């Protein structure tokens, strides 16, 4: 999935409107309570460690991958003209997303062609097999049921130890208070925990501040008039969830930072 070109853009965000109260149907509430009582509570979220594809499906997917994807991504997913789909690169691009998001990005961008005419042409079951192969190659266990578009919904791509920190190289969003550092570099204080930027999905600029500090790198626009503002930054993480940010976009959220 190609990332947007590096640039810096500063704009003042409009105030957020107050959300209307949500009214729940009593029937829906009762249904949810009944379902919870019958099942012993809400179902735990599934992850890639729960076996969401079969060995046979992954093997079929390997054949489809070699036929349609290997020329760009390498026969072993090691990367060629386009990014690798395994190892550190896989985690940098997909950790803290879901399998249905990976599925959707795969079928809307592969196979690659200059005019985009080949994307989405393989059929849903073929894409499911390819995604199964990608997951299998990254060491996730096979299960008893085949992966499908429906079964992939909400399946989390997470580290086995449960760590939620995005790795170096991830494209992420943070908010924080803009200030000058001692070396005249721009920094974000009270920075939020990085949240992955998802393709074609808006970021939430209203997330609360945190306790992290970041140094902003490769900012191409003057930020002097925004010192002390609360800022929204989209950047590649240069040192995981702390340290330096390779800035792609930066915009003002508020004239104060509280």
pLDDT tens profile 159-191: 998 778 899 999 999 999 999 988 889 999 999
Supply the CATH number for residue 69's domain: 1.10.760.10
Give the integer Cα–Cα distance in Å for 258 and 254.
9
- Rounded to 5°, the CA angle 170-171-172 comes to 105
Q: For residue 244, what pLDDT band results from cuts at 50, 70 and 90?
A: very high
Write the DSSP symbol of residue 167: P
Say if residue 141 is in the same domain as residue 57. yes
CB atoms near residue 25 (< 10 Å): 8
Say if residue 144 is in the same domain as residue 65. yes
Residue 171: φ, ψ to 5°: -95, 115
**Whole-prediction pTM value?**
0.77
Say if residue 59 is in the same domain as residue 139. yes
Say if residue 180 is in the same domain as residue 246. yes
Say if residue 104 is in the same domain as residue 131. yes
Say if residue 60 is in the same domain as residue 144. yes
Q: Is residue 121 part of a domain?
A: yes
Q: Is residue 124 part of a domain?
A: yes
**What per-residue confidence (pLDDT) applies to 43?**
54
Say if residue 54 is in the same domain as residue 153. yes
Number of structural domains (the chain) is 2
Structural domain range at position 87: 48-157
Q: What is the pLDDT of residues 195-223, one digit of tens each?
A: 999 998 999 999 999 999 999 999 988 99
């Amino acid at each position: 999935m190609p990332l947007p070109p590096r640039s810096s853009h500063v704009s003042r965000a409009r105030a957020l409107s107050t959300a209307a109260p949500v009214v729940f149907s009593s029937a829906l509430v009762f249904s949810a309570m009944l379902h919870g009582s019958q099942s012993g509570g809400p179902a735990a979220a599934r992850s890639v460690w729960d076996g969401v594809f079969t060995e046979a499906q992954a093997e079929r997917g390997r054949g489809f991958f070699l036929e349609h994807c290997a020329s760009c991504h390498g026969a072993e997913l090691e990367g060629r003209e386009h990014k690798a789909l395994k190892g550190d690169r896989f985690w940098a691009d997909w950790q803290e997303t879901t399998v249905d998001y990976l599925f959707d990005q795969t079928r809307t961008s592969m196979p690659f062609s200059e005019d985009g005419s080949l994307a989405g042409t393989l059929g849903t079951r073929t894409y499911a097999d390819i995604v199964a192969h990608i997951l299998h190659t990254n060491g996730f266990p096979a299960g008893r049921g085949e992966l499908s578009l429906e079964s992939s919904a909400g399946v989390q791509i997470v580290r086995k130890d449960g760590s939620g920190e995005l790795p170096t190289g991830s494209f992420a969003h943070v908010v924080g208070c803009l200030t000058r550092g001692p070396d005249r570099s721009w920094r974000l204080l009270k920075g939020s925990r990085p949240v992955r930027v998802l393709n074609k999905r808006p970021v939430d600029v209203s997330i609360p501040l945190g306790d992290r500090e970041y140094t902003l790198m490769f900012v191409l626009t003057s930020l002097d008039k925004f010192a002390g503002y609360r800022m929204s930054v989209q950047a590649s993480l240069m040192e995981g969830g702390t340290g330096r940010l390779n800035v792609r976009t930066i915009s003002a959220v508020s004239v104060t930072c509280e």
